[in-house]
Structure 1
């Protein structure tokens, strides 16, 4: 539990790293991604892909689907992509509630899955396989998943597959050996980072839902610096915001200063560090030297 909750009148930590659908905000990139997923699933499409940089909210979207659409679909969730073909079949069977003998062959397990999918289809219960961190799947595993997506009746697909992955997934799918899977992806969405106004809204939304009712917690300058340092990536925003609130609490302050953000940025590996005053002085001096040299050269001609 964050030590600063009482200091700011908060009921929960607003900037935890664990994806929390209770703090979800329908900002444009995430709202568009949800709409694409819902449309694709309702259309009965077989393969759907959502890609985005590390920390842009892919796992949060995955959990959002699990929480909000479980009444309409039977979900199977595979958070660990480092699986062999046999392990994928076993994991899917387990997610579907099937009792499978540990010594059973992969073919036998697949047959059990197939029959169960047909049974669920007859009950109007579509099955959706959600795979997180899909960029880490081996080529063999991707081929297994493609073949699972081939399970169908004459009227419909028996299994819908949603791949959540980093941009490396897009690069891999562009390769010649994965063209069969690439051609089966009918809907895709690329999550972008948040823009400046979205970052401010994101922070305010999370603070409000967490119980904050005070005045502006960030000055305009400190918010601008945090936005730049985080590059609009929600996970980095959370890391930096959590650290500056700890600094604020430690100093007994009620508002985040630029100095606090600088300290948080210096302590965060992936944050963009502001250019120091020394750097600007060096650049200015270099510019002056260049101008002087140009002037001397023109006079000497």
Structure 2
């Protein structure tokens, strides 16, 4: 919509977890480093937590790409709200195991174990990544623990990475799954971006999207963007996108404080949000109408 107006080749603040836009901010890069070090050491269980919108899924996707480049075998399950049987079936599919739904759990584990042994013999490491792990039912968490029992005398056949919201920590405190908690050897908590990180994040994404020259967001606009988003990347993306829409609607080449304030007022969950609905899109609609008239002329 506004790409040509701002000299962009793509939308810079899409909510899709595109690894091309991965921002090597200290907290996110450290989380990725912890994962890579732990996995290369052969650790069985690793846990990454963070509030909604702090970038866990993007880190997970970045990790998947890195592991693929290193020749590791990965099984990615984005929605783990599954029964134990469905989880085993999903894992089997990811590993290319022929697994009819009507076979029992013992035979299913035998087939998975055979495949893991084959991959181990080939010198290939297998890693199961579970996103939104706070949604895992207790019986499925226990099934995951049992999967990690598959091992040789010297190493695990399957490593597991759990990505989840802070509620995951609460679930792991339950006495009934204390055995799984004891197996988590590495853990890392992702935090929102600070002001410096927020500014760098915005500038990074606009540059990746093709913007050249002076900063697209004015300093005061960035200040309000950081305040309104509380440093949460998903909220930064939403507010930045809406701010750019507002600036485009007025024909402005830079995003100003007023555009961000209107985006904040228009966004649920944003800090400093005023009551009422901001007229964010009125100028945009006027701009589109002018463009349409000119094109017809």
Instruction: Please indicate, yes or no, whether the TM-score normalized by the shorter chain is above 0.5.
Output: yes
Aligned pairs for 1:57-206 within 5 A: 57-70=55-68, 71-206=70-205
* Structure 1 residue 175 displacement after superposition: 2.2
Provide the rounded CA distance (Å) in 1 between the counterparts of 2:12 and 2:217: 14
Give, in whole Å, the separation in 2 of the partners of 1:13 and 1:182. Answer: 41
Tell me how large the CA RMSD over aligned residues is.
1.2
Choose from 19, 30, 33 the match for 2:31.
33
User: Is residue 260 of structure 2 the alignment partner of residue 257 of structure 1?
Assistant: no
Structure 1 runs, 4 residues or longer, greater than 6 Å off: none
Who is 1:4 aligned against? 2
Residues 154-179 of structure 1: CA distance to partner in whole angstroms, max 9, x if unpaired? 01000000000000001111222221
Ranges in structure 2 where 5+ consecutive residues have no aligned partner: 276-297
Cα separation, 2, equivalents of 1:202 and 1:61? 15
Match of 2:289 in 1: none
Task: Structure 1: state its 5+ residue gaps.
Answer: 277-301
Tell me if structure 1 keeps the 8 A contact 2:53–2:232.
Answer: yes
Deviations 1:105-147 (A, max 9, x none): 2221111001111111111101000000000000001000011
Alpha-carbon deviation of 1:255?
A: 1.4
Aligned-residue offset at 1:96: 0.2
Deviations 1:6-59 (A, max 9, x none): 000100111000001011121101100011001100110000000000011111
TM norm structure 1: 0.89
1:221 corresponds in structure 2 to 220
Q: 2 CA distance for matches of 1:120 and 1:49?
A: 24
C-alpha displacement of 1:237: 0.3
Deviation per residue, 1:65-108 (Å, 9 max, x gap): 11121133100011111100110110000000112223222221
Distance, in Å, in 2 between the alignment partners of 1:237 and 1:198 is 11
In the alignment, the residues of structure 2 paired with residue 265 and residue 103 of structure 1 have an alpha-carbon distance, to the nearest angstrom, of 52
Aligned with 1:81: secondary structure?
A: coil
Q: Quick one: distance in 2 between partners of 1:106 and 1:121?
A: 22
Match of 1:47 among 40, 45, 51: 45
SS in 2 for 1:69: helix
Deviations 1:254-287 (A, max 9, x none): 11122111111111111112579xxxxxxxxxxx
